[in-house]
Amino acid sequence: MYVEVLLELKNKQMDQTYTYKVPETLRSAIQVGKRVKVPFNHRELEGFILSIKNACKSDFEIVELLNVIDDEIVLNDELIKMGTFLKETYLCSLSSAYAVMLPSALKASLKTKINKKYETYLSLKMEHRKALSLCTNERQKEIVDCIEEIGNLQKSEANKLSISSVTTLLNKNIIQEIKEEVYRLQNQNREKDEKKVLNEEQKKAFDAIVQSLKKHQKFLLYGVTGSGKTEIYMQVIEEVLNQKMTALVLIPEISLTPQFVSNFKARFQNQVAILHSGLSDGEKYDEWRKISRGEVSIVIGARSAVFAPLKNLGIIIIDEEHSDSYKQENNPRYNAIEVAEYRTEINQIPLVLGSATPTLERMAKSTKNIYIRLELKNRVNQNILPICTAIDMTCEIKKGNFILSERLKTEIESAMSRHEQIILLLNRRGFATTITCSNCGFTYKCPNCDITLTYHKTNHNLRCHYCGFTTFKKEQCPKCKEDLNFYGLGTEKLEQIVKESFPDIKVLRMDADTTRKKNSYEAITSKFKSGEYDLLLGTQMISKGLDFPRVSLVGIINADESLNIPDFRSGEKTFSLLYQAAGRAGRKDTLGNVILQTYNPNNPILKCVEEQSYEKFYIYEMNIRKKLKYPPYYFLISLKVTSKDYDECSKEAIKVADYLRKKLADTSIVLGPTTANVFKMNNVYRFNIIIKYRFDNQLRMVLKELDKMFILNKKVNLEIDINPTKI
């Protein structure tokens, strides 16, 4: 018996499989998808068994593998297929595909060793009465009685009574230790949440999805904020479970939406497993095993949970489908939505994508019925959408109101007097964004990256938000010795200004700096929900999926901020961020009020936000995309040529662009090379090349050839990003 083993070798992620002979004693343990340990060039390596053969023709002697690592299969058939899909679609290696699909504990690598967790129990080795007669003191008897009563007692509990007595009882063979595997995350019992009666719109969407179970049908659930999409997901899943199938739910960075998870756990109790980056490696390993052993039937997770090894999958649901977080920004650069499309197709099951602001791509597909559009036009409880007012900040500045407009201040006061809550959005953390010398123009820049540093007041330092470089601020300009000024505005400074303007106000701040610790996001959210605080201010984190019934006012401090990002999707991103933030206002019994502060009150995107009209935004933005040949009219591929050596980098980038122009179809457009948005990052220079295409039979082959050419290039690197979300 022989096996083909996939080994990950360090050099540029090349896939290699090697044949090994299976020793007689290990034959029964051999299965495709398990890991084995093999000798390789005087080392030992781990790899996956990809196939089993009875014979092997070779002129060389084939070496034997050393041992089989797993009792249970790690890569089942479906995961193996998805790995191939990733390799073909995103031009990555199989080993990197499997690595991204599995928790660290199950990767084929010798580095991390995460073990199963065991709990030690004590049980009696003889009859109760006999055991008692052998005890020499009261403590021992107490322990024996305790074990008898409970059946088996946790050793740690018994040790609390008396460690020495436990040891004596063990030594005298009166009791014994039993080790049992336990999971690190245990579900607490929760009060069961009963399902709600769906309204007419919800019922229609629910029926459409349920009628398509066991068929491959794609749905776009397009429903305004607060229209009750989550309730639909839960009732559809209930039906899926009734039909003895399982369900997978993806949400953006799960840590940001504790409410969502707890709603599911309240409805489905311990049938739910969660997978996200906030878990420890051990916890992830345990959740993964619960899933693959079929002990849970619902998985909720972030991006990589799309690979959760659920068997008998009945549906995939992806909430907030417009979120960036579904795209992985490093190798393999996969998009969980594209993987979900593939996975639901091979399983012949439905896929449901939900959003109040769908991506243009998805909305366009729904006009062609590639996705069936299910629309929820109304908020549950007949709440109407908030009223949104734009404030021209160029006028306010003349009146001396640099940060909070007159109108926003009065609205904050009146909301406070009615004991309603307020949310302020400012999509920039830190104190002031940049520090500039008004005399000579000096600004602090990162020495490794082509970007200005952000000032953080709490520890008086300047930080690079790309590479983490940190330095201390000086009082005077390092160049001309004049005093330094602050420019721009971050959340930290906004907090200070709000407190100065309203001395009695109780403020909470939420951004990447205040949510670094585990569970701090949850803590801030529940503090705000409890009603102790008047105002929550923060970055885009606060705009996501939160449901605060007492918020009546949302202030958007600088609506222009994200419009200025040099990316063709900046309009879409801005619309979606501001629209979602506005949707936090007036969710229950209170009429929502949104103040949108801007320096460009006539900007068409901001006008659409003001009118709260996705439809208008869609028409406006589609028109631009068509003119500029961007998605959804064209597909994109982004290539990055990177190197520490500027000359080599620029030379190779030109070569790549020329090669593409020569080889691709005439209808495809090759742009560049240009310098990337951040030209130098971590001392690496970056050139960008963009391909826009509609149909191109040559494309995949040409890209594969290019990729191969760079495998041997030690100095210059080529990254290919298929359907990039950022360029």
Please give the residue ranges that form the binding site for Zn ion (CB under 5 A): 446, 448-449, 464, 466-467, 469
Number of residues that bind ligand ADP (CB under 6 A): 15
Q: Binding marks (x or -) toward ligand ADP, 541..560, rule CB under 6 A?
A: ------x-------------
CB of residue 446 to ligand ADP, shortest distance in Å: 39
Q: Which of 534, 539, 542 is nearest to 580 (CA)?
A: 542
User: Which of residues 328 and 448 has its CB atom nearest to Zn ion in the complex?
Assistant: 448
User: Which of residues 128 and 190 has its CB atom nearest to ligand ADP in the complex?
Assistant: 190
Q: Applying CB under 6 A, which part among 220-228, 279-287, 392-400, 440-448 lies near ligand ADP? A: 220-228
CB of residue 448 to Zn ion, shortest distance in Å: 4
Which whole-number Å values give the CA distances from 419 to 48, 231, 533, 647, in the listed order?
61, 29, 10, 62
Indicate which of ligand ADP, Zn ion, none lies near residue 227 (CB less than 5 to 8 Å, by partner kind). Answer: ligand ADP
Assess 223 for contact with ligand ADP (CB under 6 A).
yes
Assess 226 for contact with ligand ADP (CB under 6 A).
yes
- 3-state SS of 267-284 is HHHHHEEEECCCCCHHHH
Indicate which of Zn ion, ligand ADP, none lies near residue 89 (CB less than 5 to 8 Å, by partner kind). Answer: none
CB of residue 228 to ligand ADP, shortest distance in Å: 3
Indicate which of Zn ion, ligand ADP, none lies near residue 226 (CB less than 5 to 8 Å, by partner kind). Answer: ligand ADP
Per-residue tokens: 500: 């100065």
Question: Cα–Cα distance between 373 and 292 in angstroms, integer?
Answer: 33
Indicate which of Zn ion, ligand ADP, none lies near residue 228 (CB less than 5 to 8 Å, by partner kind). Answer: ligand ADP
CA 527 to chain centre: 24
Among 47, 83, 103, 228, binds ligand ADP (CB under 6 A): 228
Residues in Cβ contact with 644 at an 8 Å cutoff, skipping those fewer than 6 apart: 683, 684, 685, 715
CB of residue 568 to Zn ion, shortest distance in Å: 25
User: Which of residues 196 and 311 has its CB atom nearest to ligand ADP in the complex?
Assistant: 196
Scored b (16 or more CB within 10 A) or e, 193-212 reads eeeeebbebbeebbebbbeb
Helix (H) or strand (E) holding 241: helix 229-242
Indicate which of ligand ADP, Zn ion, none lies near residue 358 (CB less than 5 to 8 Å, by partner kind). Answer: none
Which whole-number Å values give the CA distances from 663 to 349, 499, 668, in the listed order?
38, 61, 10
Question: Cα–Cα distance between 112 and 99 in angstroms, integer?
Answer: 12
CB of residue 587 to ligand ADP, shortest distance in Å: 7
Strand, helix or coil at 687?
A: strand
Give me the residues paired with residue 5 across strands. Answer: 18, 49
In the block, tokens 């009666």 appear at 197
Among 227, 347, 580, 598, binds ligand ADP (CB under 6 A): 227
Q: Binding marks (x or -) toward ligand ADP, 164..203, rule CB under 6 A?
A: --------------------------------xxxx--x-
Indicate which of ligand ADP, Zn ion, none lies near residue 652 (CB less than 5 to 8 Å, by partner kind). Answer: none
Indicate which of Zn ion, ligand ADP, none lies near residue 231 (CB less than 5 to 8 Å, by partner kind). Answer: ligand ADP
Question: Cα–Cα distance between 293 and 310 in angstroms, integer?
Answer: 9
For the purposes of burial, counting CB atoms within 10 Å of the CB of 165, is it exposed (0-12), middle (13-18) or buried (19 or more)? buried
CB of residue 554 to ligand ADP, shortest distance in Å: 15
Q: Binding marks (x or -) toward ligand ADP, 371..400, rule CB under 6 A?
A: ---------x--------------------
Q: Which of 596, 547, 554 is nearest to 422 (CA)?
A: 554
Q: Kindly list the residues in this chain that would bind ligand ADP in the complex (CB under 6 A).
A: 196-199, 202, 223, 225-231, 380, 547
